[in-house]
C-alpha cells in the first residue's frame, strides 16, 4: 500500500485529479450561488432579451439605431463603433509613429530632440487623462454661431468638426466596395496569366463603370456631388460631423499609441545589421534601394511581433471611450446591463466580443509574420 | 607605412564639422533644421509665457484669471488638497501624506541592489504596504478610524498600485510555476486562464469584479468593492507578470535545475534559492516596465466610480468656480503621473544598459 503512495505516477495523477475536481467544484458552486442570487433578485436569464427593443438611444453609430432597435442591433452597433475607432487609431498611430521613428533615427539633432520629447511626454501620461484633456478642449470651443471655419467648408465648434462629404448613400458605398473587391480579385487571379494593359484595363474599367452608374442613377436633381456643411439657425446642415466624443478618443489614443509604435519601429530600424547595409552600398545600391530592399524588409520582420502586441493593446485601450461618453462596445454592454439586468449573458457577450477582435488581429498579423519570417526557422 | 597612423581627414573634426554633421549635412537637412528651430522656439516661448511669465499663482488674484492671461495656478492652491487626498478628513491628512511617503520610500528602496533578494524584497513591500494601510485606516493608538470609502486622490492611486503589486507578484510567481509545471492538466489550465485574462481589456475585468462578483459568491465572501477591484486588478497584473517571470525561468540553464535534482534538493528550495533569484534578476527591466504600465492603468478605476487622483482632478474642475481651469488641472495631473512614470522608466532603461554591459 505504501508503495502505491510513494510512486511518482500515483502522486502525479492524484494531484491533477484533485486540481480538476477543485476547479469543477468551484465552477459548480459559482453557478449554484449565482442562480439563487439571480432568482432572488427576480432577474430573467437566457438570451431572449436580444430580440427585445432597448428603448434608449445611443448618441453615435455608423448603422441606424433608434430607441426601437433590438438589443442585438444596438450591441452590433457598439461593436462596430469599437472597431471604427480602433482601426482608425491603428492607421493614424502607425503613420505618426513611422514619422516619429524616422525623426529619431535621422542624423539631425533638432529632429531627434523633437522626437524624443514627444515620445517621453505622450508615453508617460495615462491615456485616459489625455482623452479627458482633448475632450475638455473640444467641448470648450465656441458654439456653432462663432465656429472657427476654414474656407467655409470645415467648421470647428463645441458640437464637433463639420466636414464636407460625398453625397452618396450607403448602397452606393456598398456597390463601390463590391467593384473594388471584384477588381482586386481579378488582379489577383490574373497575376500569372495576363500582364500590362490586358490585366489592368478590365480592373480599372469595373471600378470606373460602377462609379459612373452610381453617379448618374438615383440622384435627386438638386443635390451636388459633395455635401458642404452650412450654418442654419443654431445648427449645421449637410456634410458629416465628427462628434467631440469620437474626436477626443481618436486624438488621445492616436497620440498615445504613436509614441509606443514609434519606439517599436525605431527599434526595428536600428536592429538591422550595419554590415548588411554596407554590403548593399558596396554592391552599388542607391540609398533608396538600400532602404527599400534591405533595411525596411529586415526591420519589418524584426518589429512585427511587438507591433502585433501593441495593436491588440490599442484595441483594448478603446474601452476608455466610456469615460467621455463614446458608445463603444463596453459602454453599450454596461448600459444594457443597467437597463435589462441580464448581467451574466451580457458579460459573456462582452468578453466574447473582445476575444474575437483580439484573436482576429493576432491571427492576421501572425499570417503576415508567417509570410515574411525567415524560412526554415521557427 | 602600415603602422603609420593617418591624420584625420580635413574637416572631419572640430565644432564646425560637428555642426555640419548634425544640422547642415545636406540642403534639406539645413531646411529641416531651420524649420524645427523656429517651431521649437515658438512652442517654448508660448509655453513659458503661459506657464510662468503670465501665470497667476495665488487664490487672492483669482479675478485676474481670464481667457487671455497665462496659466491660473491658483486652482492648484485652492483644490490641491482635494486632488491629493480626496475626501480624507482635513485634520488627518498628515497621516495620508506619511502613508504615501512610506510607499514611495518602499519603491525607492527596492531600486537599490542591496534589497534584491528573494527574502528582503517581499518583507520590504509587505512592511511598506502594511504601514500605508495602518496609517490610512487608523482606529488604534488614538488615531481616528477612517474607512476606505473616504480614501481618495493620490493616496487612493498609491493604495491601488501597491495593493496590486503586493497581491499580484506572488500570484504571478504561482501562475508562472503552474504554467511550467510538468503536470499537463495544471499547465494547460493555467495557460488557458492566463491567455484569456491577457486578451481582455482591464476595464472589463474590473467591471466584472465590481458588478458581477456580488451575484456569484455568497455574501460573507464579497468583501468591499475596493477590495474586489484591487484583487481583480492584481489577477490582471499577475497574468502579464507571470509571462515575464516565465521568460526569466526559461532563460536559466537546464543544467542548474538538473544539478539541483541530482543533489536531492527539494522542489521549493530549487525554486526559491536557484530559479526565482535568477529569473527576477534577468527580467528586471521588463518587470519595471510592467510596474510603469500598472501605475498608468490605475487611472482606469475612475470609470467604475473610485475617487482616485484622476477622478478628484475631474471633481476639482467640476464646479463652476474653477470650471475654466481644466487645462491647468490636467497639466498638474499629467505632471504627477509623469514624475512617477518617467522616473521609474528611466531607471529601468539605465538598469537595462548596465545589465547588457555585464554588471548587476
Report how far residue A23's alpha carbon sits from residue A40's, in angstroms, rounded to the nearest whole number.
Answer: 26
Cβ(A74)–Cβ(A336) below 8 Å: yes
Q: What is the pLDDT of residue A163?
A: 79
How many CB atoms are located within 10 Å of the residue A170 CB? 10
Cβ(A88)–Cβ(A62) below 8 Å: no
A283 alpha carbon, distance to own chain's centre = 42
Label residue A219 by pLDDT band (50, 70, 90). low
Interface contact A312-B199, CB threshold 8 A: yes
Report how far residue A252's alpha carbon sits from residue A89's, in angstroms, rounded to the nearest whole number.
Answer: 9
Report how far residue B190's alpha carbon sits from residue B179's, in angstroms, rounded to the nearest whole number.
Answer: 6
Rounded to two decimals, the ipTM of the complex is 0.89
For residue B306, the SS3 value is coil
Q: How far is A112 from chain B (nearest CA, A)?
A: 10
Angstrom CA distances, A154 to A168, A229, A270, stand at 19, 8, 41
Taking 90 as the threshold, does the pLDDT of residue A55 lie above it?
A: no
Report how far residue B130's alpha carbon sits from residue B102's, in angstroms, rounded to the nearest whole number.
Answer: 9
Give me A24's grid cell.
Answer: 469543477
Sign of CA dihedral A354, A357, A363, A369: negative
Q: What is the pLDDT of residue A224?
A: 62
Taking 70 as the threshold, does the pLDDT of residue A300 lie above it?
A: yes
Give me A90's grid cell.
Answer: 491603428
Half-sphere exposure of B197 (CA within 13 A, CB side): 22
Taking 90 as the threshold, does the pLDDT of residue A127 lie above it?
A: yes
How much is the average pLDDT of A338-361?
Answer: 87
Burial tier of A343 (Cβ tally within 10 Å: 0-12, 13-18, 19+) = buried
DSSP readout, A82-97? HHHHHHHHHHHHHHHH
The 10s digit of each residue's pLDDT in A135-144 is 999 988 888 7
Report how far residue A308's alpha carbon sits from residue A310's, in angstroms, rounded to the nearest whole number.
Answer: 5
Question: Going edge to edge, which strands form the sheet with A240-242?
Answer: A148-150, A154-157, A160-163, A240-242
The 10s digit of each residue's pLDDT in A318-333 is 999 999 999 999 999 9
Interface contact B22-A108, CB threshold 8 A: yes
How much is the average pLDDT of A291-306?
Answer: 88
Report how far residue A109's alpha carbon sits from residue B296's, in angstroms, rounded to the nearest whole number.
Answer: 30
Domain ranges of chain A: 71-148+244-372
Contact list in A for residue B214 (CB cut-off 8 A) is 37
- Spell out a b/e string for B44-66, using b for 16 or more CB atoms within 10 Å of the CB, else e: eeeeeebeeeebbeeeeebeebe
Give me A267's grid cell.
Answer: 527599434
Report how far residue A77's alpha carbon sits from residue A319's, in angstroms, rounded to the nearest whole number.
Answer: 15
Taking 60 as the threshold, does the pLDDT of residue A378 lie above it?
A: no
H-helix or E-strand containing A160? Answer: strand A160-163
Interface contact A114-B200, CB threshold 8 A: no
For residue A106, the SS3 value is coil
How many CB atoms are located within 10 Å of the residue B42 CB? 10
Interface contact A16-B183, CB threshold 8 A: yes
Q: What is the pLDDT of residue B182?
A: 86
Beta bridge partners of A230: A237
Report how far residue A127's alpha carbon sits from residue B201's, in angstroms, rounded to the nearest whole number.
Answer: 14
Give me B142's grid cell.
Answer: 488614538
Taking 80 as the threshold, does the pLDDT of residue A347 lie above it?
A: yes
Q: What is the pLDDT of residue A222?
A: 57
Which residues of chain B fall short of a pLDDT of 70? 1-4, 7-13, 358-360
Contact list in A for residue B204 (CB cut-off 8 A) is 319, 330, 347, 350-351, 354
> pTM to 2 decimals?
0.86
The CATH number of the structural domain formed by A71-148+244-372 is: 1.10.3720.10
Q: How far is A84 from chain B (nearest CA, A)?
A: 17
For residue A54, which of A281, A367, A377, A333 has the smallest C-alpha distance? A333
Sign of CA dihedral B229, B231, B234, B238: negative
Give me B14's grid cell.
Answer: 572640430
Q: What is the pLDDT of residue A375?
A: 64
Interface test with A, best of B20, B23, B204, B247 (most A CBs within 10 A): B204
Whether domain B74-356 has CATH 3.40.50.410: no
Q: Is A238 left (phi over 0), alpha (psi -120 to 50) or beta?
A: left
Q: What is the pLDDT of residue B54?
A: 83
Cβ(B156)–Cβ(B308) below 8 Å: yes
Cβ(A179)–Cβ(A206) below 8 Å: yes
A237 alpha carbon, distance to own chain's centre = 29
Angstrom CA distances, A198 to A183, A195, A202, B285, stand at 13, 6, 7, 57
Interface test with B, best of A11, A124, A309, A354 (most B CBs within 10 A): A124
A283's CB contacts (< 8 A; 6+ apart) are: none
Amino acid at each position: 500500500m505504501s508503495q502505491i503512495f510513494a510512486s511518482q505516477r500515483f502522486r502525479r495523477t492524484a494531484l491533477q485529479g484533485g486540481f480538476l475536481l477543485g476547479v469543477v467544484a468551484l465552477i459548480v458552486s459559482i453557478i449554484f450561488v449565482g442562480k439563487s442570487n439571480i432568482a432572488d433578485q427576480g432577474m430573467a436569464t437566457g438570451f431572449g432579451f436580444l430580440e427585445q427593443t432597448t428603448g434608449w438611444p445611443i448618441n453615435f453609430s455608423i448603422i441606424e439605431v433608434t430607441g426601437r432597435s433590438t438589443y442585438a442591433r444596438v450591441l452590433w452597433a457598439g461593436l462596430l463603433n469599437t472597431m471604427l475607432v480602433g482601426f482608425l487609431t491603428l492607421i493614424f498611430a502607425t503613420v505618426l509613429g513611422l514619422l516619429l521613428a524616422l525623426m529619431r533615427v535621422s542624423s539631425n539633432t533638432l529632429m531627434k530632440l523633437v522626437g524624443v520629447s514627444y515620445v517621453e511626454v505622450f508615453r508617460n501620461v495615462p491615456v485616459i487623462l489625455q482623452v479627458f484633456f482633448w475632450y475638455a478642449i473640444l467641448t470648450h470651443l465656441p458654439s456653432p454661431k462663432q465656429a472657427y471655419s476654414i474656407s467655409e467648408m470645415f467648421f470647428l465648434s463645441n458640437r464637433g468638426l463639420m466636414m464636407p462629404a460625398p453625397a452618396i448613400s450607403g448602397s452606393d458605398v456598398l456597390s463601390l466596395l463590391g467593384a473594388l473587391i471584384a477588381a482586386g480579385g481579378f488582379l489577383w487571379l490574373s497575376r500569372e496569366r495576363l500582364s500590362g494593359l490586358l490585366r489592368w484595363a478590365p480592373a480599372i474599367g469595373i471600378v470606373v463603370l460602377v462609379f459612373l452608374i452610381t453617379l448618374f442613377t438615383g440622384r435627386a436633381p438638386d443635390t451636388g456631388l459633395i455635401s458642404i456643411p452650412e450654418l442654419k439657425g443654431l445648427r449645421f446642415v449637410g456634410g458629416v460631423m465628427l462628434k467631440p466624443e469620437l474626436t477626443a478618443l481618436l486624438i488621445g489614443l492616436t497620440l498615445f499609441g504613436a509614441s509606443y509604435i514609434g519606439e517599436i519601429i525605431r527599434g526595428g530600424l536600428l536592429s538591422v545589421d550595419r554590415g548588411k547595409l554596407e554590403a548593399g552600398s558596396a554592391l552599388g545600391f542607391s540609398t533608396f534601394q538600400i532602404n527599400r530592399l534591405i533595411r525596411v524588409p529586415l526591420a519589418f520582420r524584426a518589429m512585427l511581433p511587438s507591433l502585433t502586441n501593441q495593436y491588440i493593446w490599442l484595441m483594448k485601450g478603446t474601452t476608455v471611450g466610456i469615460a467621455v461618453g463614446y458608445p463603444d462596445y463596453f459602454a453599450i454592454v454596461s448600459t444594457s446591463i443597467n437597463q435589462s439586468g441580464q448581467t451574466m449573458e451580457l458579460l459573456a457577450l462582452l468578453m466574447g466580443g473582445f476575444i474575437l477582435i483580439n484573436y482576429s488581429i493576432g491571427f492576421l498579423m501572425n499570417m503576415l509574420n508567417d509570410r515574411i519570417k525567415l524560412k526554415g526557422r521557427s | 607605412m602600415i603602422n603609420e597612423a593617418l591624420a584625420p581627414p580635413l574637416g572631419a573634426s572640430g565644432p564646425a564639422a560637428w555642426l555640419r554633421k548634425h544640422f547642415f549635412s545636406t540642403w534639406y537637412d539645413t531646411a529641416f533644421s531651420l524649420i524645427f528651430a523656429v517651431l521649437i522656439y515658438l512652442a517654448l516661448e508660448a509655453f513659458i509665457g503661459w506657464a510662468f511669465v503670465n501665470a497667476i499663482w495665488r487664490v487672492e488674484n483669482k479675478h485676474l484669471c481670464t481667457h487671455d492671461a497665462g496659466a491660473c495656478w491658483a486652482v492648484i492652491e485652492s483644490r490641491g488638497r482635494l486632488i491629493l487626498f480626496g475626501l480624507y478628513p482635513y485634520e488627518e491628512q498628515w497621516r495620508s501624506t506619511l502613508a504615501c511617503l512610506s510607499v514611495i520610500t518602499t519603491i525607492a528602496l527596492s531600486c537599490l541592489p542591496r534589497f534584491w533578494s528573494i527574502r528582503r524584497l517581499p518583507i520590504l513591500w509587505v512592511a511598506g504596504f502594511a504601514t500605508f494601510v495602518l496609517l490610512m485606516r487608523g482606529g488604534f493608538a488614538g488615531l481616528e478610524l477612517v474607512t476606505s470609502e473616504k480614501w481618495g486622490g493620490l493616496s487612493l492611486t498609491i493604495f491601488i498600485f501597491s495593493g496590486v503589486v503586493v497581491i499580484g507578484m506572488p500570484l504571478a510567481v504561482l501562475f508562472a510555476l503552474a504554467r511550467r509545471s510538468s503536470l499537463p492538466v495544471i499547465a494547460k489550465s493555467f495557460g488557458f486562464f492566463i491567455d484569456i485574462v491577457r486578451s481582455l481589456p482591464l476595464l472589463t475585468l474590473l467591471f466584472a469584479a465590481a458588478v458581477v462578483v456580488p451575484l456569484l459568491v455568497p455574501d460573507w465572501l464579497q468583501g468591499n468593492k475596493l477590495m474586489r477591484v484591487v484583487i481583480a486588478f492584481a489577477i490582471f497584473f499577475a497574468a502579464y507578470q507571470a509571462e515575464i517571470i516565465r521568460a526569466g525561468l526559461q532563460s536559466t540553464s537546464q543544467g542548474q535545475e538538473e544539478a539541483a535534482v541530482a543533489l536531492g534538493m527539494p522542489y521549493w528550495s530549487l525554486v526559491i534559492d536557484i530559479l526565482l533569484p535568477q529569473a527576477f534578476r534577468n527580467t528586471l527591466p521588463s518587470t519595471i516596465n510592467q510596474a510603469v504600465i500598472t501605475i498608468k492603468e490605475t487611472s482606469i478605476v475612475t470609470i467604475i466610480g473610485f475617487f482616485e487622483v484622476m477622478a478628484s482632478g475631474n471633481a476639482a474642475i467640476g464646479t463652476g468656480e474653477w470650471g475654466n481651469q481644466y487645462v491647468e488641472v490636467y497639466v498638474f495631473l499629467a505632471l504627477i503621473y509623469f514624475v512617477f512614470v518617467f522616473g521609474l522608466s528611466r531607471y529601468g532603461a539605465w538598469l537595462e544598459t548596465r545589465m547588457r554591459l555585464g554588471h548587476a
